[in-house]
Chain A
Amino acid sequence: MSFPLYTTTKSDEWYERASKVIPSGVYGHLGPAEGQFIPVNRWPRFSEKAQGTYFWDVDGNKYIDYMCAYGPNILGYCDEDVDNAAIEQIKKGNCTSSPDKIMVECAELLVDTVNTADWAFFAKNGNDATQGAILTARAYTHRKKLIFFNGFYHGVSPMVQKIDYPGVTPEDVANNLYCKWDDIEGLKKTLQENDGEVAAIIAQPYNHGNFFDNAFPVDGFWQEVRNLCTEKDIVLIIDDVRAGFRLDLAGSDHFFGFEADIICFCKALANGYNMSAFCGKEFLRSAASSLSYTGSYWMSAVPFAACIACINKLKAINAPKLFNDLGTELLTGLKKAGAENGFDLVTSGPPALFYLRIANDDSMLLHQDWIAECVNRGVFFASHHNHFINAALTHEDINRTIEIADEAFKVVKNNHPELFK
């Protein structure tokens, strides 16, 4: 079977319009300048509609979407149960002078669902959650330093960016310490050198940065980190914004067998409705209460209704198992198609959030070509980011994905005869 190549003329036109009125046209992680669309002309820039596991771009091209809006689409776009809950709530009220009582119900559900949660503090974006978690840790410990693991991404506040990022000053990151992932001895040394000064260790539950294979922690890593934090009264913050609810509905710390002090959620909370939360242990409740930390829309009711419907549905369908099964089926097929065409397709990370890399060359050029050929035929991948499984993905979608991937492998192989003699 041959799959027709998409054209993105209207996307290009919309991008031209956008670039006149929006800095860089589409800024941030959905934009073409993030190194995820290589070459950019093979990707759509704007969507028209979305349903289930698909979205259609402004040129009418249909994509099986493995980026899931970079995570928020967990049940499928326009999920009826979630959308109906949101619609019912919007009829009653959304952004009101007193918060709707549904906020309490949402917090109760999170406390019941998330292993480490004794309370929940709501906000809007992942960055709000990680920032709130850090402020809580500093308020509790009265210390200033933070430990990050290299390859991290914890949002966009200056304090969690890096010294060479535009707009960030050395003072913004002066209290940041950096350790290697999985390096317990290095972490111990850093703690020793900064004894009594570290407020928090903040980390993703596994190393899921961009541009490199994603890595689970070595056995015992988290338990050792947990013990060090407990021993030195350091707050252990897990940034589960990306992986949350895809590995374990009780939190990714629970998946890896340890307990965070604070865990941050966003993407998968409400199937695309805008909210985030950080949940913490009892001993941090007063510190969280003390923060001067709020926002105009942080207590809006509609996302809470969506969140309750979303989490209940994730529980009902045992979403983490479903994601693992679907992801495993997909990856098995992709690797097989790759091998049959002479490609070493490396898959890493959990199947629910799989990361892909073709290892035949050391420049990623083959990988980028293959990903672009897939996208151009209707499988929406990103060049160097982990991907996401959602619950609306079907076996038929997976089969079609593998067929497209197989054709894309053949095209790339044909384009690089010098590498496949």
Chain B
Amino acid sequence: MSNPENLKFLESHEWIDASHEPAVCGISDFAQQQLTDIVFVELPEPGKKVAKGDRVAVVESVKSVSDIYAPASGEIVEANTALSDSPELINGDAFGKGWIFKIKLSGTEELNSLLSKQEYDAATAGGAH
């Protein structure tokens, strides 16, 4: 699956869609392919205030535990509770039904430092690393 144009990315594979309010975040299709078999997602509590780079969630596959970081500062307003029973939604639809949390951004300046689709494509072009 190609990465959608309207998203911004972290090098650690989180995506953020800030085209609407609140912004939606998840992990990329590349990341879910690397993890395979996602079996557990620890979701953030709505109401939690986070700074860019804070750990907000945890995604676990059979063999690995991955921290998920806030792509920008703000307040968590919703978590995708469907992932509690169906963490594999991330494997099936990383940019859609597999979203992880919604965040009310404190501002938009931090978004400028994130990777564009083209930059993220380039960063992940080598495959697994």
Do chains A and B stick together as partners? no
Q: A residues touching B (Cβ–Cβ < 8 Å)?
A: none
